[in-house]
Structure 1
Amino acid sequence: MKTLSEIKSALKLIKSQEQYKVYLAINDSLIDCEEGSPEEETLELVSILVEDYESKHYHIETPDPIEN
């Protein structure tokens, strides 16, 4: 696996499903990092990029309100 520095320097907007899968794997590898660590900062950045991609490609509609 790449070093944390290599990962951070290579971060960019996700443009493909393949790239999305790579970023999910990075997220998974960092998910248990220590609070306040450099890994946490990278996890936050990758999570933002993943969330952006998902909001564009996996839109989840808000459910209709329940009527009484």
Structure 2
Amino acid sequence: MATDLKPVRSEADYEAALAEVERLWGAKSGTPKGDRLDVLATLIEVYEEKHHRMDPPDPIEAIKFRMEQQGLSRKDLEPIIGTRGRVAEVLNRRRGLSIEMIRNLHEQLGISAEVLIRPTRQDEAA
């Protein structure tokens, strides 16, 4: 087994920890290998939280991503968002999402309401 555990402080430490986790993957819980896997996973998680943090997606990007995933067109959004013009305004960032639109997008497309209520990139610049 590898050397003593130490904090993950650099990208090299991070890469080494990931490689060891891959080797230990599937180790039985409660065994020395399983315990080492648990500790390494925790160390990696702390490092990623600090250095590889991902912000939630922009609401419009989230809508476009879900459209692509589900093969939806702008026309498919009309019952959810409103008229063809309204759909265009929203997707082109000229109109914000209303509470009703957010509810509909969440319920019908499964997009997280937390993502949809975030300011769009255009709003953040203002």
Task: Check whether TM > 0.5.
Answer: yes
Structure 1 residue ranges without an equivalent (≥5): none
Give TM-score, length-normalised by structure 1: 0.76
Corresponding residue SS for 1:15: coil
Q: State the partner residue of 1:52.
A: 46
- Which residue is 1:18 aligned to? 12
Q: Structure 1 runs of 4+ off > 6 angstroms?
A: none
1:56 Cα deviation from its structure 2 partner: 0.3
Query: Which of 1 and 2 has greater Rg?
Result: 2
> How many pairs were matched up?
62
Q: In the alignment, which of 18, 30, 33 is matched to residue 24 of structure 2?
A: 30
SS in 1 for 2:8: coil
Deviates more, 1:39-48 or 1:27-36: 27-36
Aligned partners of 1:67 and 1:37: how far apart in 2? Answer: 47
| Unaligned segments of structure 2, at least 5 residues | 60-100, 104-126
Q: Distance in 2 between matches of 1:35 and 1:45?
A: 12
Task: For 2:6, give the aligned amino acid.
Answer: K
- CA RMSD, 1 decimal: 2.0
Give, in angstroms, the shift of residue 64 of structure 1. 6.7
TM-score scaled by length of structure 2? 0.44
More helix by share: 2
**1:42 is aligned to 2:36:** yes
Residue 67 of structure 1 is matched in structure 2 by: 102
